[in-house]
A and B are shown apart, each in its own frame.
Chain A
């Protein structure tokens, strides 16, 4: 009894501390623990890129994607957007043939998509390709027969991948040709690139090597000799400014895989604020109504359930800050829903308690039985909820993920608050008498 009371007081103190933490961290601008609001609540732009990984060895895809993520993150950070999110999302689904890798870039506060797309910058894909001349002879109809004649043969030039790309660069710099003073971009490969470059040049002396930028051949100089030092120059018809941009982009990191913008979303800041405010208001009212219902229906245990629900809210909000969970409109909806579900266990326990009382048990016995016997149905019911939220989280888009995460964490936390906390408080109160007062406090709906 004394032990239960000490634990109850500790629990109350911890709850108060957490509530204090919630309050101060939100009002201290320097705190690391502000609520992290999703784009739909504070406005901003989300860009989804598709990364074409079809030419990459499947075992190296995740490595390439994380390099891509780092490169884009560096670019975004260069422009000083606050709290950008750049994340890789594996798009492949069971049964889909396309191995789709996604890159999602979220830019809070940026509501001008054009600016955002520019901000991520042109995405230079630099490739070195061998030029092969292929002679093909097309069959021709001569006197009703198909014939291949020499004069119809045509030569086409094909570009052949060498595996040497901008991702193997260690440095790019701007130089000027000493004679013509035309801008030249000089490249230096890293050790892997150096070896590959040496191999390619050795094997193909005399043949042209095309320098391809974003699919366009900039120049195709002939290989004169094996180049061992890993240095190359791009001379093209650049203006100084173009050359500068190219050097900048190459140094930020050229992309290891080509990307394509496939979806964009922009949400104005005022809309987001409205959604947030109405979400908070709906949450408050939801809490009040549920609290009122519990107190009116279950009386004293109901009051304790409300205290447990407050604890639930405080723990959940603290987790949102600490994990941190990005709060979206669907996340708020999930949280409000989870408040209604959090008291489910209380309802089951209290009903069971009343039933045991009705069967003539003493109050304390009834309390013990209530908790013990309601447990199985609470466990099975909540587990199915957890199964659903795991699947939702696994398959959902970012909006749905927020909802699923809130729901899943909510179910786990509520099992703790509704069972452990309510139980501790209830036993700590130590109501034992069988008198009229106790009957009133516990026995709503018991006529016997």
Chain B
């Protein structure tokens, strides 16, 4: 199959995409949400129309909030991000935003997180990602333990993990764009989305691997002499449509979540969506050709 035969070109394209994504994610600097850094976020709505940014800024000036970020959001709301606020400071800020009670405000959302919690969550997120990847390699090596010829089962695990790294690198890259151009932040939901992509996007890779496993068995039982790369190619040909379809149903629901779901889960849905798309093409264009490359490399030895 052409996917297996032209794998070098595919690797070049996918490699470029990964590099671009990493550049986009890390290159513009990481902007962590307050869950990870500690700090406060206050969202207020002005039912009677939102005052000018400069007005609000001048009201906030006497409070000495240090570095803060004031963003208009929605039709008539502001989001204010500051360092961690105590309850007294919180009351003072609300008072300033309502211009001493002259303007009605509705507090839609207030979150204040201590720095300790933040750094702890960051550590947890990293542990979780490493743990999920590790568990999946072990699991795949175990699930494919009976197919150690001609490629040993742990190599399936390694290929799955390299594919997974790609599957989270691409959504991270797109998120990098969101961070840079739309003021999104690396928050809990973003990490959750990456973790979910890790768990789900592996499915269609497994569909293809499972078929390779089956075809290898049939080949051995029939005493066939079909080389490994052709078996991989044939397995791909037999399964790429269903591998696409399983992801397609997930992509459909994510699309509706992205378009219609609440504001809070919009970026979350987009990250998942990109991750699923990446997971789908990588299982066809990346994982299986990679398996063949590993086989070729061990053949030369």
Q: Which residues of A contact B (CB under 8 A)?
A: 40, 48, 50, 91, 93-96, 98, 100, 111, 113-114, 117, 261-268, 270-271, 274-276, 278-279, 281-283, 285-287, 289-290, 293-294, 297, 329-330, 332-334, 336-337, 339-341, 343-344, 347-348, 351-352, 355, 373, 376-377, 380-389, 391-392, 395-397, 399-400, 403, 407
Contacts and interface: CB of A to CB of B under 8 A. Distances in A.
Contacts of A334: 196
A232 to B, nearest CB: 34
B203 interface: yes
Given A100-B120, A279-B265, A286 B192 contact: no
B55 interface: no
In the A-B complex, list the 8 residue pairs whose CB atoms are closest, starting with the nearest: A388-B199, A340-B253, A340-B250, A286-B253, A275-B262, A381-B203, A377-B210, A351-B242
Contacts of B200: 337, 341, 385, 388
A262 B262 contact: no
Contacts of A351: 239, 241-242, 245
B264 A329 contact: yes
Given A48-B117, A391-B128, A407-B196, 5 more contacts: A50-B116, A98-B116, A275-B262, A282-B262, A388-B199
B261 A384 contact: no
Given A285-B256, A340-B254, A387-B132, A290 B111 contact: no
B25 interface: no
Interface stretch (B2-10, B63-71, B101-109, B292-300): B101-109
Contacts of A111: 107
B272 interface: yes
Given A95-B123, A337-B253, A271 B108 contact: yes
B127 A93 contact: yes
Interface in B128-156: 128, 131-132, 135-136, 139-140, 143
- The interface size bin for chain B is 35 or more
Nearest to A98: B116
Contacts of A382: 203
Contact of A274 (B192, B252, B262): B262
B257 A333 contact: yes
B120 A330 contact: no
Contacts of A275: 262-265
Contacts of B45: 268
Contacts of A407: 196, 199
B93 interface: no
- The prevalent SS among residues of B at the interface is helix
Contacts of B256: 282-283, 285-286, 289, 336
A343 B87 contact: no
A337 B250 contact: yes
Contact of A265 (B110, B121, B241, B251): B110
Given A336-B257, A337-B253, A40 B120 contact: no
B58 to A, nearest CB: 26
Contacts of B198: 388
A50 B246 CA distance: 44
Nearest to B35: A397
A266 B135 contact: no
A266 B128 contact: no
Interface string B230-263: 0000000011011001101111111111011111
B127 A113 contact: no
A262 B113 CA distance: 6
B90 interface: yes
Contact of B90 (A91, A93, A113, A297): A113
Given A100-B120, A266-B109, A293-B248, A337 B196 contact: yes
The CB with the most chain A CB atoms within 10 A, among B128, B135, B250, is that of B250
A13 to B, nearest CB: 28
Contacts of B260: 278, 281-282, 285
B277 interface: no
Contact of B246 (A48, A266, A347, A395): A347
Given A94-B127, A337-B254, A264 B110 contact: yes
A347 B192 contact: no
B252 A290 contact: yes
B238 A355 contact: yes
Contacts of B87: 113-114, 117, 261, 264
The CB with the most chain B CB atoms within 10 A, among A276, A286, A290, is that of A286
Contacts of A279: 261-262, 265
25 contacts: A100-B120, A117-B87, A263-B113, A275-B263, A278-B260, A278-B263, A279-B265, A282-B260, A285-B260, A293-B248, A330-B268, A333-B269, A340-B250, A344-B246, A347-B246, A351-B242, A380-B140, A381-B202, A384-B140, A385-B199, A385-B203, A388-B196, A395-B124, A395-B128, A403-B196
Contact of B250 (A330, A341, A373, A400): A341
B189 interface: yes
Contacts of A268: 45, 106-109
B195 interface: yes
B192 A400 contact: yes
B226 interface: no
The CB with the most chain B CB atoms within 10 A, among A40, A50, A285, is that of A285
Contacts of B262: 274-276, 278-279, 282, 329
B180 to A, nearest CB: 24
B207 A282 contact: no
B72 interface: no
Contacts of B22: none
Contacts of B14: none
The CB with the most chain A CB atoms within 10 A, among B198, B199, B252, B261, is that of B199
A278 B120 CA distance: 32
Contacts of B21: none
The CB with the most chain A CB atoms within 10 A, among B125, B198, B253, is that of B253
Contacts of B162: none
Contact of B192 (A96, A98, A271, A403): A403
A1 to B, nearest CB: 29
Nearest to B44: A268
Contacts of A383: 139, 143
Nearest to A102: B117
B116 A282 contact: no
B178 interface: no
A270 B106 contact: yes
Contacts of A341: 200, 203, 249-250
Given A267-B108, A381-B203, A388-B132, A330 B189 contact: yes
